[in-house]
Every structure is written in C-alpha cells, then in structure tokens.
Amino acid sequence: MTELIYCRDENPEATGMPLLLIHGLFGASENLMGIARAFKDRPVSLVDLRNHGRSFHAETMSQREMAEDINRLMATKGWDKADILGHSLGGKVALQLSQLFPERVNRLVVADIAPVDYKPHHQLILEGLDAVDTDTVKSRSEADKVMSEYIEEPGVRSFLLMNLVRAEAGGYRWRCNLEGLKANYNDIRTAPEFQQAFSGQALYIRGGVSDYVLPEHQTQIDQFTPDATMVTLEGCGHWLHAEKPAAFNQAVAEFLV
C-alpha cells in the first residue's frame, strides 16, 4: 500500500517542531481539533488512520501498517521528526511508530492507553453499528434508536454517529470501513510490537476513572518508554481530552515546552 492517509494541516506557516495528532478507534481527525487549536505556534497535522474518516479503506490494518502509514506521510511532508500525540488506538500507533521509526519521534504523548494486550470490549459497539441498515435508515435519530439497543451511553452513540454520512446515491453510509474494523479487531486490541526501548521523552495522560491504564501496566510502559512520566486527570474517563480539554491541553503544553 503506497496511498497516503488523509491529513488536515493547521498553522502550516508556523515554525517550530511539528505536532502530529492521531485519533482513536472509530474516530477521525476532527475529534482532536480542540488540541490543534491550543497549539497555534507550531505546525499541527491531524490524520485519519486507514479505514477511518477520509482515509483509504484497506483489508488489513495492523499497528505496524498504520505506523508505516504515518512514516510515509511524514516523509512526504518533509518532516524528519515531530512530536507525536495519540489517543487510545492512536496512542498505540504512536508507540509503534516510536519502535519502528524512532528517528521520526521527538517526544511522545500517549493518551489513556498502554502498550498491552486488551481483552475484547467493543463487541456491543460493533453489533450496534452493524444493526443499522444504512440502505433504509432515514435519519441519524433513527439510527441512534437502533444503536441504543446495544449501546447504553448517549455520548458514545453520538460519537459513533459522526461516522454516519449521506451517501451520494441517497440514504446513508458508514464513513469508516466497518467491515475492515471488524476483520482486524484482534490486531487492533493487542500490544504494539516491541523492538527496543524508545530513548526519547514520553508523557502518558490517563483518566482517573478510566480502566485503560492501570498500575499493572507499568512494567510494559517502562519497557517501551523508560523516560516516561504519568499525569492523571481526576474525574475523567477514557475521553479525557473531550471531558477536560483545558487540563489536558495544559498537561501537553507543559510537556512540550
């Protein structure tokens, strides 16, 4: 695969170390615009991972392949190195990039994810998305009602429904490659491939009420990123950059000074 993933550039004329933002599973670049707006003094690029947003659809999407996509994009942009921030799956891709192409990563920010294997926990989300008949559904509210049988939290459904867009021929379609996400889910939930310890600085930001980054994950965090610090945003769940954007952006800004 030589096709480039989609990239939205903010502040392209700014100087300084570029910042590249990587969204999580079922997300897209626009989910991280609140972070991009907080860093107007440097070039910021927001990517759509393969099978997400406006990027190409592919049969496979291992973390290695997605890191290679990022490396290829940086080479095309002429960026030798950048600060990399990833949330959830994007954090795993950022960690994989630091393993395969450490020369590309200046500093690393990993938001509410650890370099570990996670048990399957998106089954109801995938079933809820699958239950929506995009050929016949007449509105997002109708799709939301269908999904509510599987996904209890309205905020999660609202986030997922950002993927439901109008089809050119009429009706709706999923913008993400739902079949590709289902087929590759086991690759997505596993730990990144370890190559060698990343020698640069890393910051992990975890939600205080999230169960994604736990004390028992510290061994793997130390293995991948020995020069890492941890910040906990109290009262936040997994979507910490959306729940407490000011506190999240401040933690990132203080690290990237």
What tens-digit pLDDT sequence spans the chain (257 residues)? 579 999 999 999 998 999 999 999 999 999 999 999 999 999 999 999 999 999 999 999 999 999 999 999 999 999 999 999 999 999 999 999 999 999 999 999 999 999 999 999 999 999 999 999 999 999 999 999 999 999 999 999 999 999 999 998 888 999 999 999 999 999 999 999 999 999 999 999 999 999 999 999 999 999 999 999 999 999 999 999 999 999 999 999 999 98
Nearest to 19, CA basis, from 7, 2, 36, 37 = 36
What is the 8-class DSSP label of residue 191? P
Known catalytic residues are 88, 238
Nearest to 90, CA basis, from 60, 126, 123, 46 = 46
Q: Is residue 201 part of a domain?
A: yes
Question: 149 and 36 share a domain?
Answer: no
Nearest to 23, CA basis, from 71, 70, 78 = 70
Question: 167 and 209 share a domain?
Answer: no
Residue 86: phi and psi, rounded to 5, are -135, 140
- pLDDT of the residue at 1: 58
Question: 107 and 201 share a domain?
Answer: yes
Residue 176: phi and psi, rounded to 5, are -75, 160
Query: Under DSSP, is residue 40 helix (H, G, I), strand (E, B) or coil?
Result: coil
Question: 88 and 129 share a domain?
Answer: no
CA 20 – CA 97 distance, rounded (Å): 12
Residue 153: which domain range?
Answer: 123-183
Question: 161 and 245 share a domain?
Answer: no
The residue out of 183, 210, 235 marking a domain boundary is 183
CATH number at residue 94: 3.40.50.1820
User: For residue 165, how many C-alpha atoms fall within 13 Å in the half-sphere facing its CB?
Assistant: 11
Question: 57 and 111 share a domain?
Answer: yes
pTM score of the predicted model: 0.96
